[in-house]
Amino acid sequence: MERLKIVVIGGVAAGPKAAARAKRCDQNAQVTLVEKGEWLSYGGCGLPYFLGAAVKEIKDLMSTSWEAVRSPQFFHEAKDIDVLLGWEALSINRKDKTVKVIDVGTKETKELVYDKLVLATGAEVLVPPIPGLDALGVFQLKNPGHALAMKEYLLNNEVANAIIIGGGLIGLETAEALANWGMEVTIVEMQNQIMPYLLDPELSLAFSTYLEQEDLNILTSTKVQKVLADDDGRVKGVETEQGFIACQVVLVSAGVRPNVKLAQEAGLAVEKGIIVNEYMETSDSDIYACGDCVVCEHIASGNQVYVPLGSTANKQGRIVGTNITGGRENSPGIMGTSIVKMFDWNAGRTGLSERDAKELGYDVVTAFVPGPDKAHFFPGKKLILVKLIADRKTGKLLGAQLIGPGDIARRLDVMVTAITLGATAHQVANLDLAYAPPFSPAMDTLINAANVVKNIIDGKAKNMSFQEFKAKLSDDNVIYIDLRTTEERKAKNIKARNQLHIPFEEIRARSTEIPKDKEIVVFCILSTRAFEAQVILNHLGFSNVSFVDAGIQFWPL
C-alpha cells in the first residue's frame, strides 16, 4: 500500500502536535516536519519564566513529561517523523502538490511531495516603527534564542532600569521577571490601559494599581518615539511622549500578527489570518492550517477572531493530525480564554468583553462581585473579584473576568464551560460545585455573582459603577452612607461631600437620619452589606438607593 505523504510546515506547537497525532492515527504515513528556525517544539509561553529563573534551563521548555528533549533525533527515533530543522518553505505548488524548501544555512533547495499539507507557520512579532531598535540591549521574546540572548546580556551588563514596550501578557510577565532581578521596570503602553485584550477598563485599572504597589511603573496612552544609544551603541534610554526615561535594556512586546505569506502566495483564502473551516481545512481541501496563523470562530459571538494561544494551537494541531489521516473531527471554536499571574495576583477572562457584547447588540447587564476563594473562616483565604457579563433579555451569560490574589483558575474554567454551553445566570447560580472550607465558601463567589446578575435583571438590585461613584463624591444631591465599622474605616478613607457613617447593623434604627429627597448611595468593603442595606432602605420608603459595585476593596479611590 502506498504511504500517505504528509508535510507539516512549522515546528513550534501546532505543527509537531499535528505530525505526532497523524503518526498515531496512521503508523504507515510518511511525515516530514519543516522548521526554518533552530528551535523545535518548545513552550514559548514559558520564555518569561526562563528569564525569571522559575524555569531553570532552556531545554526544559523543549522536554517531554519524562524529560526527553524533543530534538530532530527524538522525533525520528520515537515517532518516525523526519524533521528538516533550519529549512524554510519558500513556495507551494498546489497543482503538483509540492513544497519548495531551502536550507537557511547552505541555501540548498529541494521539493517535497505531499498528499496532505499542514500550515502551522505561527505568528511573527509586531515591530513598531521606532527609530533606534537596532541598539544593543533591545530585544524581542519570541523564541528560545531571544531568551538566551537577553539573559546573557543581563548577566554581562550593568542593568538597573528596563523598559517594556507593550502592556500585554508577555510584556507583563517579562516585567515581573526583570523586577525580580532587582531592576526598576517601566511598562509603556500606547493604549489607555494594560492588558487591553484581556480585561475591561475597570479591572485593568484595579490590576494596574496593584502592580504599581509592586513597584512597576506603568505609562498608558503613551508611545515610545525613539530608542537612544550611547557611543558604544548600547541602549541608554527611550524618548516617550512624556519625556526621556533612562534604561539599559528594552523589550519590544507590542503583539504579534499571523504569518500568512506562504498561504497568500499559494492563493489560499486569508483574512486577518488563514481562513479554515470547522475541520481546519483551508480553501484547498488538501491543505490544512492550525495554530497562530489562523483565525477562529468565537463561540460566544460567532465572529472570526485572531487569538493566538499555545493551548489553542495544540488542540487544533491534534484535530488536524486526525483529519489528514482520514478522520472528520471538527473544531468547535474558541472562547478567547486567557489567564496570567503577576506577583501575587492573577487575572483571567473568557467569552465576550462588555464592549464586545454591546457591539453585538445585547442589552448588557454586568455584575462585579468580590469574595474569598475559601471559606471566610479558613486560614489562607484570599480575595477574588468576579465580573460577569450577561444578556438582560435572556439571562444568558456572555463573558467573565476575574482578578485578585485568590484562586481564579478553577472558577474561570467553570465559566468557560458554562458560557460555551449557553448557560444562564440562573443555571450557574445553582451549579452543584464542590464545597469544603479549604476549597471554597459554601456559596462560591461565582454563585454569588450569578445571583447578583439575576437580582439586577429582576430589578431587586440597583448597582452603581465605581467610576460613577467617584464622579458623584462632590455632588450636593447625593448622600453617601458608609456601612463599615469604625475599625474598618481606618483602612481606606472615603472623602464625600455628604457622607453618613451608619454601620450596617444600625441602618434600620437610624434610617430617620437619612433624607428621602436625595439620591442615596450605600457602600461597604465587598458590597455584601451594601446590597442588603439597599433592600432595607427600599422597604422603608427610600426609592432612589443604589450600592457600589464590588464595594471599595478593589477600586483605586
> Quick check: helix, strand or coil at residue 30?
strand
- Cα distances from 347 to residues 254, 356, 406, 466, in angstroms, run 19, 19, 10, 19
C-alpha torsion sign, points 440, 443, 445, 450? positive
Contacts of residue 58, defined as CB under 8 A and 6 or more positions apart, other chains included, come to 50, 144, 147, 148
Owner of C-alpha cell 437620619: 513
Specify burial of residue 544 (Cβ count, 10 A radius: 0-12, 13-18, 19+): middle
The residues annotated as belonging to the active site are 45
Specify burial of residue 285 (Cβ count, 10 A radius: 0-12, 13-18, 19+): exposed
Report how far residue 403's alpha carbon sits from residue 406's, in angstroms, rounded to the nearest whole number. Answer: 8
Within 13 Å, how many C-alpha atoms sit on residue 432's CB side?
A: 0
Cell numbers for 375: 471559606
Report how far residue 553's alpha carbon sits from residue 533's, in angstroms, rounded to the nearest whole number. Answer: 18
Cell numbers for 251: 523589550
Report how far residue 263's alpha carbon sits from residue 108's, in angstroms, rounded to the nearest whole number. Answer: 22
Report how far residue 208's alpha carbon sits from residue 554's, in angstroms, rounded to the nearest whole number. Answer: 11
Beta strands in 29-142 (DSSP E): 30-35, 81-85, 87-93, 98-103, 109-113, 116-119, 123-125, 138-139
The per-residue b/e assignment along 305-341, b for 16 or more CB within 10 angstroms, e otherwise, is bbebbbebbbbbbbbbbbbbbebeeebebbbbbbbbe
Pairing mode, if any, of strands 235-240 and 243-246? antiparallel
Can you give the length of the chain in residues? 557
382 and 373 Cβ atoms separated by less than 8 Å: yes
Report how far residue 260's alpha carbon sits from residue 87's, in angstroms, rounded to the nearest whole number. Answer: 17
DSSP per position, 445-478: HHHHHHHHHHHHHTTS--EE-HHHHHHTTT-TTE
